[in-house]
Structure 1
């Protein structure tokens, strides 16, 4: 017997989440986005409807729309059987939408820019400031393109748009390949979210040629010897640099992101002060990291209560000063593709150091120390060995030195 059911996309969310219609028929399962969103606290999972509550006064109309959807899918399925048509998910979807066209006044179609506006506002409640900044910057360029070149909407996000937009960002804004890639990735995120919510039906953005471009970034890591130099600097006359140095070294020996290592609290230090256990902000993963002797020393210095960090931007500025004081000034050749042209120039290594260098240094130093890759990935959170190996920074000489100890070369 065919049966309709409504479920929440994220039933444990604290924010509004999408409602799906599930329809089981003839040992098949049909899933359809209703386009309706609701805060789970107002949802009754047993009745599969919104609770009758004064906190959500529009519940009668909301539930009436769900009733019409349930009636619509049942009518569509019954009509197909009566017409001698064997249902499948594609046929059933068409039949349902035809039924809805006949019985429900469809709301005005939301435009891409209207969706992005509301999505960014919604994201402010559950995403980081950095992510919101990325969204707003990508949105700014998209609106500019729409005004100067041709109007943009869901239906226009095609391969033709992709190729023209790449040219627009390269020639008119002289953006680097990685920055352009970030904007394309953000557009794909907007389109994916709109598709999940049943707002978008144009799937051309999922074409393999609609790809996120990137080039290897000129990122550096600090070796164990370089970290020792940084640790030995006497910064007692500059409390600001001393604090930043200590926090940075915590990152270098734990592999945690900036947003995580500045959040370490006494309760995160477990197993007789030998392990840090923390849930990472970006992925929500719980990681356990053995305490390096340098980390133990720094924690002891602050009685396990690390000082409050400066902003990431301020930390990056102070770090360059610290690494320069440590004498790490060798020249590193950098290259970047801007406006379609490759620009190369030598830069002092200390100028390339940022808070994220800590995490990259951790991964690279452990890899060179022959710690099993899978063990490092348990801490860094990389899902595949391929992505991990792209992340670490090992020179050709370091790789050769590492191989010298391998049985194949002995």
Structure 2
């Protein structure tokens, strides 16, 4: 039996969220954005309607609109059956919109740029500052492209636009392949969200040729031996460097991002000071991490209350000083594709270290120590082993040394 219900996109949010119609029929599921938004505190999950509330006086009209949508989908389904047509999601959507066109006033069309602007504002309430910065930078490039070349809207996002826009980012802004890929990924996330909300019908951005560029970066990790060198430096004469070193080591032995390992509080230290338990800022995941002896020593030093961190940029600058003092200066050749050209450079290793090296070092060192990938991924948050293996940094020699212990080679 076909049945309609209404659900909230984000039922636990504190701000307005979209209401979806979900229609289950003939072992299939049709999901449709109503275009309506409501704060979850006004929503009655049982009745799937807005609560009668003085704080939301327009609830009768709001519920009447939902009633019309429910009647519309039921009528659309029956009409298809009566006409001898087997229902599917595409036909249901067309028939539903035909049903609603006479009853409901269509909202003013939201442009791609209006949507991005609104979405960035919404995201400030539930996304990290780093993510908002990425959104704003991508939006800045899109506006520049629009002003210099041609208008951009949902219907103009095509493979032709994609190819031209790649050239704009690569050649005119001299961006690396990975940076270009990050902006394409962000544009696709904007389009996915707009499509979910029923604002976009153009799905050309999901074409396999509309791909996110990715180039394996020449990032480094620090081995256990190198981390021991860093731990042993006497930095008492430089409190700023000592603080940076200690925070960085916490990151190296917990696998947490900068935004997380710099926010550890006494209440995050549980199970008799043997486990750190935090909800990560970027993904909202809860992770539990056994305390390494180095982390226990550092926490004891600060009485479980780590010092306030500098900004990520300042920390990265001071960190290079720390790594240099530890004598980690071996030369590393790096290559990067910028402006469509491959650029090579040779730098001492300490210049390539940043706060994110801590997380990469954690994953790589655990992998080399034969800790199962699935256990490491529980902490790093990688969804697939493939993405995890791209993240770790293991040289050919290290990989060969690791394989020597495998039964196949013995």
Return the TM-score normalized by structure 2.
0.95
Q: CA deviation at 1:252?
A: 0.7
The aligned counterpart of 1:37 is: 37
Q: 2:253, 2:304 → 1: CA distance?
A: 16
Change (3 A) 1:3 1:385: closer
Q: 2:77, 2:383 → 1: CA distance?
A: 42
The aligned counterpart of 1:107 is: 107
Change (3 A) 1:5 1:350: same
The aligned counterpart of 1:278 is: 278
Q: How many aligned residue pairs are there?
A: 410
The aligned counterpart of 2:77 is: 77
Secondary structure of 2:5 counterpart: strand
Return the TM-score normalized by structure 1.
0.95
Pairs within 5 Å for 1:270-309: 270-309=270-309
Q: CA deviation at 1:28?
A: 4.4
Q: 2:42, 2:352 → 1: CA distance?
A: 50
Secondary structure of 1:103 counterpart: coil
The aligned counterpart of 1:379 is: 379
2:61 is the counterpart of 1:61: yes
Q: 1:25, 1:222 → 2: CA distance?
A: 55
Q: 2:285, 2:121 → 1: CA distance?
A: 26
Q: 1:251, 1:209 → 2: CA distance?
A: 38
Pairs within 5 Å for 1:9-158: 9-26=9-26, 28-158=28-158
The aligned counterpart of 2:226 is: 226
Quote the RMSD (CA, aligned, Å).
1.7
Q: CA deviation at 1:142?
A: 0.9
Q: CA deviation at 1:75?
A: 3.1
CA contact (8 A) 2:128 2:281 kept: no
Structure 1, gaps ≥5 residues long: none
Q: 2:142, 2:400 → 1: CA distance?
A: 46
Q: CA deviation at 1:17?
A: 1.5
Q: CA deviation at 1:170?
A: 1.0
Q: CA deviation at 1:303?
A: 1.1
Deviations 1:235-274 (A, max 9, x none): 1111111111101001111111111111222222222222
Deviations 1:8-60 (A, max 9, x none): 12222222221111234455443211111111111122332222323223333
Q: Which moved more, 1:101-110 or 1:157-166?
A: 101-110
Q: 1:364, 1:26 → 2: CA distance?
A: 48
Change (3 A) 1:80 1:399: closer
Secondary structure of 1:169 counterpart: helix
Q: Any runs of at least 4 consecutive aligned residues in structure 1 with deviations exceeding 4 A, and if so which?
A: 25-28
Q: 2:403, 2:203 → 1: CA distance?
A: 46
Change (3 A) 1:377 1:28: closer
The aligned counterpart of 2:358 is: 358
Q: CA deviation at 1:207?
A: 0.9
Structure 2, gaps ≥5 residues long: none
Q: 1:16, 1:258 → 2: CA distance?
A: 30
Q: 2:201, 2:259 → 1: CA distance?
A: 36
Change (3 A) 1:4 1:315: same
The aligned counterpart of 1:5 is: 5
